[in-house]
Structure 1
Amino acid sequence: MHALIVIAHPDPRSLSHSVARHVAEGVSLSDPGNSFEIADLGAEGFDPRFTATDLAVHRRETPPSADVAAEQARIDRADALVLVYPVYWWSMPGLLKGWIDRVFANGWAYDEGPDAKLVKRLRHLRVHLVAIGGANLRTYARHGYFGAMKTQIDHGIFDYCGASVVTSELLLGSETQDPASQLAAARAIGGNLFKAPLRGAEAA
């Protein structure tokens, strides 16, 4: 089994990068036959700007540009997609959101048109979301932030494409706590990437 681990953080020394590496370590330890690829969107220079070309792709007027097609191919090679990102303004960073905006395009992630019923094309894909936040759990609970994030990201993005969100984890206290527990959690997530079954509808 193969995992694509996508990270969106500009500092390679960050906790986000360490978490991504520990997820990868868990993948390797769970089964010697498993493999992974880490896609560092910042280091790779992915352009998150949604352009007129991307709009034409959405309208099914032109094929995806080369950079988008390359990202879609990386996801196609994966059995699991892992997104590791810091929480910015109670959501994901603009770099990662732009990656989703451009890559999860009409005609690849789903099929939709004015005279056609929505077809979800990513029913085979396991998705694992690992968000890293600086606030404490009490803050998230009091304001309903985590529930809002799950509605926006888990349901609003991935359910729309049919992908099964197996893990939706929020690792908190990134600015105040010793990272050991967060890194251990990341390793455990990696070890379980392929063990949880897809939801019934997606597995059919």
Structure 2
Amino acid sequence: MKTIVYAHPYEGSLNHALLNEITGKFKENQDDYQVLNLYADSFNPVLSSQDLYNYNQGISTDPLVEKYQAALAKTDELILIFPIWWYGLPAMLKGFLDRVMLPNVSYDSDDNGLLTGKLTNIKRATVLTTAGLSKQHFQQLNAANVESTLINVIFKDLGIGHQSIRWFHYDTIHHDHADSSSYLESIIDKI
């Protein structure tokens, strides 16, 4: 099953256009897919003191967290769609990682704190981002926690196959969406 984790609040955004194009392709191909739309689901990204207490036990009492965990357990291809805000992940997506990726569910840790991922069922991952700055600019600043943290560390710690992770970035987000049609087409061809 393909799972899209979508984290953007505005339906008029390029991110939403990407979501629509990708789900349209999946429908056309009769692919088995699901969308975890964090904003539409009113997901609460805030890690409360009770969440933190439960976290150390590897449990959650939030039905939405449990739904997302069950969805990820059935996933073999993961697609994340989100904007880069302030050089990093939007709070909604960071909160998704904080609240959904629990010990004993998404990873195990040894006595030294080293993690062994349990999401090895996810064989392929694609990260689609948008921002006003280029991918190269983020990389030069060493500020692209998309690559240095999410892809190179978090995905690895969760057991997501590193060889099959791709990152596509659209860097003219402030331009008219008419300019983005060739980008959308090129991405859809690669998904």
TM-score range, shorter chain: 0.7 to 0.9
Q: How many angstroms apart in 2 are the aligned matches of 1:90 and 1:175?
A: 16
In the other structure, the counterpart of 2:169 is 170
Q: How many residues align?
A: 185
TM-superposed deviation, 1:4: 1.3
Residue number among 11, 34, 37 corresponding to 1:37 in the alignment:
34
Partners of 1:15 and 1:174 within 8 A in 2:
yes
Tell me which moved more, 90-99 or 20-29.
20-29
Partners of 1:57 and 1:106 within 8 A in 2:
no
Residue number among 71, 75, 78 corresponding to 2:72 in the alignment:
75
Tell me which moved more, 167-176 or 135-144.
135-144
Q: How many angstroms apart in 2 are the aligned matches of 1:53 and 1:77?
A: 27
Matches within 5 A, 1:146-185: 146=144, 148-165=145-162, 166-176=165-175, 178-185=179-186
Partners of 1:57 and 1:105 within 8 A in 2:
no
In the other structure, the counterpart of 2:5 is 6
- The amino acid across from 1:41 in the alignment is L
| Structure 1 position 128 matched with structure 2 position 129 | no
Q: How many angstroms apart in 1 are the aligned matches of 2:116 and 2:139?
A: 35
Residue number among 55, 59, 83 corresponding to 1:63 in the alignment:
59
Change (3 A) 1:106 1:11: same
In the other structure, the counterpart of 1:107 is 104
- The amino acid across from 2:186 in the alignment is A
Change (3 A) 1:113 1:69: farther
Identify unmatched segments of 5+ residues in structure 1.
Answer: 191-204
Higher relative contact order (CA 8 A, sep 6+): 1
* TM-score (structure 1 length as normaliser): 0.80
Tell me which moved more, 164-173 or 93-102.
164-173
Q: How many angstroms apart in 2 are the aligned matches of 1:36 and 1:50?
A: 28
TM-superposed deviation, 1:56: 2.2
TM-superposed deviation, 1:103: 0.4
In the other structure, the counterpart of 1:47 is 44
SS of structure 1 residue aligned to 2:60: coil
Identify unmatched segments of 5+ residues in structure 2.
Answer: none
Q: How many angstroms apart in 2 are the aligned matches of 1:154 and 1:74?
A: 20
Change (3 A) 1:38 1:189: farther
TM-superposed deviation, 1:142: 4.3
Tell me the alpha carbon deviations over residues 39-74 of structure 1, each in whole angstroms, 9 at most, x when there is no partner: 2211110000012232223321x6322221111011
Q: How many angstroms apart in 1 are the aligned matches of 2:157 and 2:117?
A: 7
- The amino acid across from 1:169 in the alignment is F
Partners of 2:6 and 2:80 within 8 A in 1:
yes
Identity %: 22
In the other structure, the counterpart of 1:189 is 190
